[in-house]
Amino acid sequence: MIATLATFGLGVMLWSGYEIGGAQWQFTERAELVAGFSYALGIDGIALLLIMLSVFLMPICILASWGAITKRVGEYMAAFLFMETLMIGTFAAQDIFLFYVFFEAGLIPMYLIIGVWGGDNRIYASYKFFLYTLFGSVLMLIAMFWMVAKADTSDIPTLMQYDFPAGAQTWLWLAFFASFAVKVPMWPFHTWLPDAHVQAPTAGSVILAGVLLKLGGYGFLRFSLPMFPQASADFAWLVFALSMVAVVYTSLVALVQHDMKKLIAYSSVAHMAIVTVGLFSFNVQGLEGSMIIMLSHGLVSGALFLCVGVIYDRLHTREIDRYGALSNNMPYYALFFLLFTMASIGLPGTSGFVGEFLSLAGIYQVSTTVALICTTGIILGAAYMLYLYRRVAFGPEKNEDAQAMVDITPREWAMMVPIAAVVMWMGVYPESFLAPMRADIAVLDARIASATPASDSQLVVGKPKAEAANVVPYVESHTEEGAH
């Protein structure tokens, strides 16, 4: 606990020390420890925000485990601290192989967290999680070798400026896609996620949803887009198609879940699909929006898992039917739960709205159809979240034991309040979160815009020409955006 709070304190110092508009890469350090690759760290605005998210969620995770974990506490805490190290390392790595090391190493603590402290079906879930993600990333490793052999450097900033031959980009992009699509996860590679979420302990779910899924999005942002801009443009249709399916399909699946954690897990898949669409919209709004959704989703779905954890600790079931009318006996709990539900739906004033609005605005410039379908996801999202909330918090008092539960304790207050505060902050004044990454997003946008064919209509695959005309010529607008 103390260690995580101390890290969070260091994170705050990092943020205040970060010069907005300064050099692109700050706080760099480099040491040639290993033959073959170097131990190089450094952050830009994008990494900064994601590191902040990790260090912010970590003390809360520890708090959430305070009473829930009773066996092998020392090992549990060690696993979480190890996890935190690796996540920060992944976001800060400046060497492509070092990134891979941190990226993959996270499997070990997460496998143990799910397997040792998880639910009844934990063994199946931990195997599935481990093997699925491992299989995704080994192909990426092969691609990395090829890139490094070709470009003769494993330095990420240099590789981001390196132009790989167009034919090779396709293969490289696909190899990276295999890894990040599993991690995000995108439909149809998402099946490990509900299992892992349901079986993991509460804090494990928070970390999984809050940070680990962001590794995939970060990967797209840091590798796929800037390193293979041409292939990214060519495959945007694939990402769009998979994401559209994901948004609608997983939202519908979420609607019929009886298990609260599973419902939130499916909602994660739907939200992350909007992230991927936004990332591949190739414009500043889309990219910034995706980043904000990632941050917001990290907080909100983390908080929702915490909400589930709070009542799970009391009744030891995640069945929605076992609860009901909790607003009577747990008013404060109901209040927080409502706030996070609304944030998940994307109510204006919460963080969810900002991100979804920005990224949908970005998508709309590329394809109205994609934007339209993604918007239905938001409507469906409202449906399943409100339906969940109604069943848990309102309705008749049908379960006596549920009615006997006490309201949240001071420890749980301490978990909820900071997240709620940040969610509102991000919803009301997103500028403080947009400012650090603006310069980096602009650089990225310039990079991909230079490689993207001038006519963006080619991204609209399988659509009639008439719709392509809807694409607003926004080239001027995003240079202004970048100049902020």
Partner 1 sequence: MDFATSFALITPELILTAAGLVLLLVTAWGGDKAAKGITYAAALTFFAAGLTLVPGLHSGAVGPETLAFGGLLKIDSFALFSKALIYLAAIGCLLVAPSFFNSEAAGTEQGMRAEYSVLVLFAALGMSVMVSANDFMSLYLGLELNSLAAYVLASILRADTRSAEAGLKYFVLGALASGILLYGISLLYGFTGGTDFAGVRAGLTGELGTGALFGLIFVMAGLAFKIAAVPFHMWTPDVYEGAPTPVTAFFATAPKVAAVALTARVVFEVFGAQVEAWQQIVMFTALASIVFGALGAIGQENLKRLLAYSSINNIGFILLGLAVANEAGAASMLIYLFIYVAMSLGSFTALLMLRSDSGDLYETFGDISGLAVTRPAIAWGLLLLMFSLAGIPPLLGFYSKFVVFQATVEAGLVAFAAIAIAASVIGAFYYIKFVKVMFFDEPTDLVTGKSGTAHWAILFLTAAIISPLGYLLTPSLSDLAGKAAGALFLVP
* Shortest spacing between CB 172 and partner 1, in angstroms: 11
Residues of this chain, 448-477, that bind partner 1 according to CB under 8 A:
none
Q: Report the candidate in 163, 147, 154, 25 with the shortest Cα–Cα distance to residue 99.
A: 154
Decide if 272 contacts 301 (C-beta within 8 A).
no
The least CB distance from residue 164 to partner 1, in Å, is 14
Nearer to partner 1, 97 or 235 (CB): 97
Please, which residue, 227 or 416, has the CB nearer to partner 1?
227
Is 56 an interacting residue with respect to partner 1 (CB under 8 A)? no
Shortest spacing between CB 153 and partner 1, in angstroms: 14
Interatomic CA distance for residues 76 and 80, integer angstroms: 6
Contact between residue 439 and residue 20 where contact means Cβ atoms under 8 Å apart: yes
**Whose structure tokens read 């995108």?**
186
Q: Are 214 and 298 in contact (CB under 8 A)?
A: yes
Residue 31 interacts with partner 1 (CB under 8 A): yes or no: no
Q: Which residue has the tokens 């309102």?
A: 394
Return the number of the residue (120 or 476) whose C-beta is nearest partner 1: 120
- Please identify, using beta-carbon distances, which residue of 149 and 483 lies nearer to partner 1: 149
Please check whether residue 38 is in contact with residue 32, taking contact to mean a CB–CB distance below 8 angstroms.
Answer: yes
From the list 125-133, 297-305, 383-391, 418-426, the region that binds partner 1 by CB under 8 A is: 125-133
Residue 305 token pair: 């898992």
| String of contacts with partner 1 for each residue 61-80, x by CB under 8 A | -----------x--------
Report which of 7, 37, 13, 6 is spatially closest to residue 27, judged by C-alpha positions: 13
CB of 250 to partner 1, least distance (A): 26
The answer to whether 240 touches 277, Cβ cutoff 8 Å, is: yes
Calpha distance 24→442 (Å, rounded)? 11
Choice from 25, 66, 127, 162 touching partner 1 (CB under 8 A):
127
Distance of closest approach, residue 212 Cβ to partner 1, in angstroms: 16
Q: How many residues does the chain have?
A: 484
Beta carbons within 8 Å of 173's beta carbon, 6+ residues apart: 224, 228, 231, 232, 235
C-alpha 94/C-alpha 384 separation (Å) is 40
125 or 303: CB nearest partner 1: 125
Residues numbered 131 to 190 that lie near partner 1 (CB under 8 A) are 131, 134-135, 138-139, 141-142, 145-146, 148-149
In this chain, which of 56, 100, 173, 312 binds partner 1, going by CB under 8 A? 100
215-230 as b/e, with b when 16 or more CB fall inside 10 Å?
Answer: bbbbbbbbbbbbbbbb
Size of the site for partner 1 (CB under 8 A): 34
Q: According to the binding rule CB under 8 A, does residue 400 interact with partner 1? A: no
By the rule CB under 8 A, 111 interacts with partner 1: yes
Closest to partner 1 by CB, 109 or 352: 109
Shortest distance in whole angstroms from residue 113 CB to partner 1: 11
Q: Which of 425, 343, 357 is nearest to 386 (CA)?
A: 343
95 or 356: whose CB is closer to partner 1?
95
Residue from 107, 203, 287, 444 touching partner 1 (CB under 8 A): that is 107
- DSSP 3-state assignment of 10? helix
Nearest to partner 1 of 149, 454 (CB atom): 149
Q: Which residues contact 288 (CB under 8 A, 6 or more apart)?
A: 358, 359, 362, 434, 437, 438, 441
Would you give the DSSP letter of residue 37? E
| Interaction between residue 97 and partner 1 (CB under 8 A) | yes
Stretch that binds partner 1, among 30-38, 232-240, 333-341, 383-391 (CB under 8 A): 30-38
Which residue lies nearer to partner 1 by CB, 107 or 273? 107
- Which residues lie closer than 8 Å to 467 by C-beta, 6 or more apart? 367, 368, 369, 460
Task: Determine which residue in the list 2, 16, 19, 32 makes contact with partner 1, applying CB under 8 A.
Answer: 32
The two three-digit tokens of residue 261, written as one number: 């954690």
Give me the residues that bind partner 1 (CB under 8 A), please: 32-36, 72, 97, 100-102, 104-105, 107-108, 111-112, 115-116, 122-123, 126-127, 130-131, 134-135, 138-139, 141-142, 145-146, 148-149
